[in-house]
Amino acid sequence: MKMKAAVMTGVGKPLEILSVNVAEPKVNEVLVKIGATGVCHSDLNALHDETTPIPTILGHEGAGVVASVGPNVTKVKVGDKVALNWVPYCGTCEFCVTGAVHLCESAFEPMFSGTLLDGTTRLSKDGKPIFHNSLLSTFAEFAVVPELSCVKLPDEMPLAQAALIGCGVATGYGAAVHAAKVTPGSTVAVFGIGGVGVNAIQGARIAGAAKIIACDVKSANLEIARNFGATHTINAAEEKADEVLKELTGGFGVHAAIDCTGHVVATESAWKGVRKGGTVVVVGAFDPTMSLTIPAEGFHRVGKVLKGSFYGDTQPFRDFPALAKLYLDGKFMLDELILDRIQLDDINKAFHSFQDCSCVNVGRSIIEFPAVSMNSEDRLQDDFETVS
Ligand SMILES: [Zn+2]
Ligand SMILES: [Zn+2]
């Protein structure tokens, strides 16, 4: 079947809007008609990454409607509204069977080689393969994705908001609720107020934290943090965050700190700013050449926990529907994360806006696709081409 897609044809080059072929879903795969997709900073990183296989279709934050299913698919059916998860898991490894599906490694090899789980692609142009991104490739009218990437949401969930759930929203919320296990009445610091940090604040708010202290070096971001539920703010460019955290908590430090910055200095400050028995959760990816320095003196006495969290310890089939319900109940803010709504043809404008450093990196441009205007069954029958 032919579809319109934004194709990455070279490192750092503007995406090209092209007509490409998408093949039928194979075993345990689903064809999704994309309704909306977010443009994430990770897409910009992939566009400038020499290791991204080319040509590729980027996009890993998406939601849509199931258009067809391959053999053996049981979790979704045609017409279901789904949000997409970019870390499908195997379901059988030690991590999966003990509930830590976010630690499953089965998706990484295909993710880095630009294929689906079986090592092949469903995308092509003129007989030549086009690679997938994060096993999704949502910058296109349709996507063939693993069944375990398709999480059914309630019919009333709007697709633009649903598209946000699978990346920064789940990561930030999960960092607070699942990784830091924020409890009612506790005190929480969130370092780094971006697309993940504001959702860590929301997670802490929903978990019932009494004080939520946002730490950032940009005062504009701290103002935004208050809109999402921060009760206090610290400008880390002007004040020592760990000292202020202690002042705000009777000298003890916070129960939990969530570091979304990717900077080791912030993690070191968070470590000092949590109380005995407290937890520091690191969500951001560090510069791999850096080392983290934690004071050795008294380490055994303070009982603190330093914990990395990938994807916010998210279990998509547990968390995505919960987040949709929180949104539909008016408890989780997603509308405020949509900066603007654009068409696929204008996708390069969304990439340009990232390069404007005054842009506050909290919300998203959302690409919306018109609803299927033709009889999709006929189109699927007539237009599929076999891609080897
Ligand atoms: Zn993302
Ligand atoms: Zn697994």
The pLDDT of residue 360 is 57
| Span from the CA of 249 to the centroid of ligand 1 (angstroms) | 33
* Cα–Cα separations (whole angstroms), residue 275 to 37, 71, 278: 40, 52, 5
The alpha carbon of 363 and the centre of ligand 2 are apart by a number of angstroms equal to 31
The whole-angstrom distance between residue 219's C-alpha and the CA centroid of its chain comes to 24
φ, ψ (nearest 5 deg) of residue 281: -105, 125
Give the other-Cβ count within 10 Å of 104's Cβ: 20
Low-confidence stretches of the chain (pLDDT beneath 70) = 355-361, 372-388
CA distance 30 to 336: 30
Q: Given this model, what pLDDT does residue 373 score? A: 45
Q: CA-to-CA distance for 231 and 300, rounded, in angstroms?
A: 32
- The domains located in the chain, with CATH, are 2-152+315-383 (3.90.180.10), 172-310 (3.40.50.720)
Hey, how many other C-beta atoms are within 10 angstroms of the C-beta on 281?
A: 29
Q: What is Dmax (Cα atoms) for the chain?
A: 70
| Sheet containing 128-130, strands listed edge to edge, beginning at the edge strand earlier in sequence | 2-7, 16-22, 123-125, 128-130
- What's the confidence (pLDDT) of residue 192? 97
Smallest-distance ligand from the CA of 96: 2
Distance 82 CA to ligand 2 centre (A): 22
Determine the 3-state secondary structure of 128 from DSSP: strand
User: What is the distance, to the nearest Å, from the Cα of residue 212 to the centroid of all Cα atoms in its chain?
Assistant: 22
- Report d(CA 289, CA 277) in Å as an integer: 29
Distances (CA, A) of 191 to 128, 146, 283: 45, 34, 10
> What are the DSSP E strand ranges found in the chain?
2-7, 16-22, 29-39, 62-69, 81-84, 123-125, 128-130, 142-146, 150-152, 187-191, 211-216, 232-235, 254-259, 274-282, 305-308, 338-342, 364-368
CA of 302 to the centre of ligand 1 (A): 35
Q: How remote is the CA of residue 86 from the centroid of ligand 1, in Å?
A: 9
Ion ligand 1 residue ranges (Cβ < 5 Å): 40, 42, 61, 167
Nearest CA among 56, 47, 83 for reference residue 159: 83
Q: pTM here?
A: 0.93
How many angstroms does the Cα of residue 200 sit away from the middle of ligand 2?
A: 26
DSSP 36-72: EEEE-HHHHHHHT-TTS-SSB-----EEEEEEEE-TT
| pLDDT number for residue 364 | 87
Angle (nearest 5°) at CA 77 between 75 and 79: 135
**pLDDT value, residue 383:** 47
Strands 29-39 and 364-368: antiparallel
Each residue's pLDDT tens digit, 321-356:
999 999 999 999 999 999 999 999 999 999 888 766
- What is the distance between the alpha carbons of residues 381 and 385, in angstroms, rounded to a whole number? 10
| Ligand 2 centroid – CA 147 distance (Å) | 14
